[in-house]
Amino acid sequence: MSLPSRPPHRRVRVTSPQTRIALSRRHRPVQQLLPLPDGTLDDGALAAARATFARQRRLALRTATGLAALLLGLSGLLAALPALDRITVGPVPASWLLLMAASYPMLLVIAALHVRAAERIEDSAAPERHRPAVPGPGTDAHRPGTGTTTGTRTGDWGPAAGGGRP
């Protein structure tokens, strides 16, 4: 992973791998596809990844529907019931209160419920993926070690093993 071979008399700038990757992004050839994080992609891992994706997508669809129902429903309610303008809660008209203050907690609840459900899906997916059909020795070694996903962009190291690419 050293710098591309340069004549020894040239000054070599010493940078971290991340920095180098970021700086050389535009020299990258056409997009190189990453392998799934496990490096190897056996049928078991692929099926697990597909199942996780399907569950996350169903959840995302549910949350999006809920959000649309809240926003369009609340505004529709205020449009349909002008009487809410005349009812007051303390000194404030009920319709104003719904718009000004009540919508934010509801948005927060929708988002928090989604995040909790999405994390549960991930938690239940993680053990499955750690039981590959053939536990090859390289399974963990190929795992990109850090969260800096830039470092996993294999394109900068030339062809990487296992990536299904065009």
| 121 CB burial (10 A radius; 0-12, 13-18, 19+) | middle
- Least Cβ distance, residue 9 to another protein (angstroms): 20
Contacts of 122-129 with C-beta under 8 Å, sequence gap 24+, read 122/52, 125/48, 125/51, 125/52, 125/55, 128/48, 128/51, 129/38, 129/45, 129/48, 129/49
- The span from the CA of 6 to the CA of 135, in Å, is 40
Q: Considering only residues 3, 6, 43, 53, which one is a binding residue for another protein as defined by CB under 8 A?
A: 53
161 binds another protein (CB under 8 A): no
Site size toward another protein (CB under 8 A) is: 80
- Closest contact distance (angstroms) between CB of 27 and another protein is 10
- Nearest approach, Cβ of residue 133 and another protein (Å): 17
Instruction: State which of positions 94-153 bind another protein (CB under 8 A).
Output: 95-96, 98-101, 103-105, 107-108, 110-112, 114-115, 118-119, 122-123, 125-126, 129-130, 143-150, 152-153
Beta strands in the chain (DSSP E): 88-89, 92-93
Residues 24-43 that bind another protein (CB under 8 A): 25-26, 30-31, 33-37, 41
